[in-house]
């Protein structure tokens, strides 16, 4: 493995040259969206285009509705939304001769909602249900069905066809309930963009019901087609001497061989993504948020620390036995780019910081959370989310091409991934109007990625996390036990 990693370091110089070529191509794509017909994928987008066919980066928003949805109204709202955000109506094109991806942008939206009547939905649920899923709701199973529906599995194999990046479906459930699901390619829609899409869509549906044209114009502000995140990094923020970059690459590669993981239950079978929920009541949520505020840390640091302690605890190790775990923290960079992008700007504008921590039995949760968060902030203050962006993208692509570089060919890059900022959601009269009972937003991780990806939300004052993991590499029972231990640790703190 070490020889392979060193061999990859030797090819990294050519990778840097490719980045500069892609940057030049991206600059040529800076025309207004009204004139833009296509643009090449940036470096980070290229990494996601390689990751999604393998099963990581299928973003899904699933809404549980208690009222029968008006499909034509939703269809019209989606068309308006895509036409005002052109990158969301694009098609992904792969050019085999250059091993590159680009986004082809048609003049109008052609998205069609795929409906599944009650009979079709029952057939889907029957295939998904097993004896150990009696406590899992139909809504939850439909969500998992969507994040495992890979419309891009064959992209990157030929140049014969272009693939849409946005799909919508409606599943009819019993008791006149239904699930409305949006499935989007992560390279053009990170978590922040997905939530913005959801909010705009709900407002559009509400406006169409009430025929408020003025409000609709405000919602449908015409967006430009943005470039890749690399084009917006402020001058000097991504600078790193060549030898320092090489040393960091060697460090990332060799350190990855020392990372500890959860026990792999089945590393041979075909994988999918499954979801387990971590939920706290309002009082418990208030207590941990107050604790974070008092100590000057964000919730991401506490969740990561609870995950590390739970993973170590469930292994039954001696209390003084240390293990090294990796955490990936994702940062929404829109507010720190040049120019600054609006919070609802569509595209992928997150970056990542990878930190490692030594954990032993008996570690104090708040001390580890403070240590974890401080390491992350120090790295961010040193611009590691910009300087190491190309390095992490390169290593991710190498892991995709060479799974054997990872333990048991698991493709696990870290134990856990968290988002720097928590999503805050509050119910409104608009939710009641359309009968919105629940929604979950998350993305698949069964290709390259962490053992657990936490998508955290504070919903009406309650902590509500969707924890996504690769199955059967890990089992539902195994992850439920881990999440249960995390919840106990959080409450006890």
Mean pLDDT, residues 267-295 taken together = 96
Asked if residue 339 has a cis previous peptide bond (ω within 30° of 0), the answer is yes
CATH topology of domain 2-230: Chloramphenicol Acetyltransferase (3.30.559)
pLDDT digits (tens, 9 = 90+) for 186-210: 999 999 999 999 999 988 887 765 5
Q: Which CATH superfamily is domain 240-492 in?
A: Nonribosomal peptide synthetase, condensation domain (3.30.559.30)
The per-residue pLDDT for range 210-242, each reduced to its tens digit, is 555 556 656 667 788 889 999 999 998 988 776
Write the pLDDT tens digit of every residue in 153-173.
988 776 667 899 999 999 999
Residue 29 has pLDDT above 60, yes or no: no
Beta strands in 260-349 (DSSP E): 272-279, 323-332
* pLDDT in the model for residue 100: 92
Q: Are 102 and 95 in contact (CB under 8 A)?
A: yes
* Whole-number pLDDT of residue 417: 97
Distance of alpha carbon 397 from alpha carbon 374, whole angstroms: 29
Q: Does the pLDDT at position 15 exceed 50?
A: no
What pLDDT is attached to residue 414? Answer: 94
Q: What is the mean pLDDT of the chain?
A: 87
pLDDT at 3 over 60: no
**In this model, does residue 5 exceed pLDDT 50?**
no
**Separation of alpha carbons 240 and 491, rounded Å:** 42
Same topology, domains 2-230 and 240-492? Answer is yes
Does the pLDDT value for residue 118 go beyond 70? yes
Encoding tokens for residue 470? 């690769």
Residue 356 CB-density burial (10 A; 0-12 exposed, 13-18 middle, 19+ buried): middle
Q: Which of 205-219, 238-252, 360-374 has the lowest mean pLDDT?
A: 205-219
Mean pLDDT to the nearest integer, 370-393: 94
pLDDT for residue 26: 39
Alpha-carbon distances of 68 from 64, 201, 269, rounded to whole Å: 11, 17, 39
pLDDT band at 24 (very low <50, low <70, confident <90, very high): very low
| Token couple for 372 | 């974890």
User: Which residue has better confidence, 391 or 10?
Assistant: 391
pLDDT of residue 469: 98
State the pLDDT at residue 160. 65
Nearest alpha-carbon partner for 320 in 357, 359, 262, 356? 359
Element (H, E) at 144: helix 138-147
Q: What is the largest CA-CA distance in the chain?
A: 65
Higher-pLDDT residue of 179 and 404 is 179
CB 469 within 8 A of CB 276: yes
Q: What's the Cα-to-Cα distance from 462 to each of 64, 284, 286, rounded to whole Å?
A: 18, 8, 8
Q: Above 60 in pLDDT, residue 19?
A: no
- Taking the domains of the chain in order of start, what are their residue ranges? 2-230, 240-492
pTM score of the predicted model: 0.90
Please give the structure tokens belonging to residue 377.
């902030």
């Amino acid at each position: 493995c070490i020889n392979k990693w060193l061999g990859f370091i030797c090819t990294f110089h050519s990778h840097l040259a490719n980045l500069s070529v892609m940057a030049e191509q991206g600059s040529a794509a800076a025309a207004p969206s009204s004139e833009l017909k296509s643009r090449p994928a940036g470096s980070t987008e290229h990494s996601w285009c390689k990751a999604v066919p393998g099963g990581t980066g299928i973003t899904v928003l699933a809404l549980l509705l208690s009222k029968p949805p008006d499909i034509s109204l939703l269809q019209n709202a989606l068309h308006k939304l895509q036409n005002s955000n052109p990158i969301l109506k694009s098609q992904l094109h792969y050019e085999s001769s250059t091993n590159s991806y680009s986004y082809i942008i048609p003049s109008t939206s052609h998205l069609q909602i795929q409906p599944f009547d009650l009979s079709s939905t029952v057939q889907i649920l029957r295939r998904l249900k097993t004896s150990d899923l009696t406590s899992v709701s139909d809504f939850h199973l439909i969500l998992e069905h969507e994040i495992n529906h890979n419309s891009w599995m064959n992209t990157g194999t030929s140049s014969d066809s272009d693939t849409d990046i946005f799909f919508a479906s409606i599943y009819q459930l019993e008791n006149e309930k239904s699930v409305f699901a949006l499935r989007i390619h992560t390279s053009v829609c990170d978590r922040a963009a997905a939530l913005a899409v959801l909010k705009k869509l709900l407002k559009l549906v509400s406006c169409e019901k009430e025929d408020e044209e003025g409000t609709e114009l405000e919602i449908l502000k015409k967006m430009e087609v943005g470039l890749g995140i690399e084009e917006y990094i402020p001058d000097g923020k991504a600078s790193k001497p060549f030898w320092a970059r090489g040393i960091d690459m060697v460090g990332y590669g060799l350190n990855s061989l020392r990372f500890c993981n959860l026990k792999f239950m089945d590393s041979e079978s075909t994988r999918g993504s499954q979801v387990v929920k971590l939920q706290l009541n309002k009082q418990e949520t208030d207590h941990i948020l107050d604790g974070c505020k008092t100590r000057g840390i964000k919730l991401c640091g506490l969740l990561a620390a609870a995950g590390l302690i739970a993973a170590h605890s469930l292994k039954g190790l001696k209390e003084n036995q240390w293990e090294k775990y990796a955490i990936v923290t994702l940062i929404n960079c829109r507010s720190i780019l040049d120019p600054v992008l609006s919070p609802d700007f569509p595209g992928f504008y997150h970056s990542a910081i990878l930190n490692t921590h030594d954990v032993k039995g008996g570690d104090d949760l708040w001390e580890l959370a403070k240590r974890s968060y401080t390491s992350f902030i120090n790295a961010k203050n040193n611009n590691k989310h910009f300087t190491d962006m190309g390095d992490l993208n390169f290593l991710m692509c190498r892991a995709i091409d060479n799974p054997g570089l990872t333990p048991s060919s698991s493709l696990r890059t870290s134990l856990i991934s968290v988002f720097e900022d928590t999503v805050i959601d509050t119910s409104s009269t608009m939710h009641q109007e359309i009968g919105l009972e629940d929604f979950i937003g998350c993305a698949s991780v069964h290709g390259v990625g962490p053992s657990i990806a936490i998508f955290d939300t504070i919903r009406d004052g309650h902590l509500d996390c969707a924890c996504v993991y690769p199955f059967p590499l890990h089992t539902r029972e195994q992850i439920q036990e881990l999440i249960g231990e995390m919840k106990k640790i959080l409450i006890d703190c």
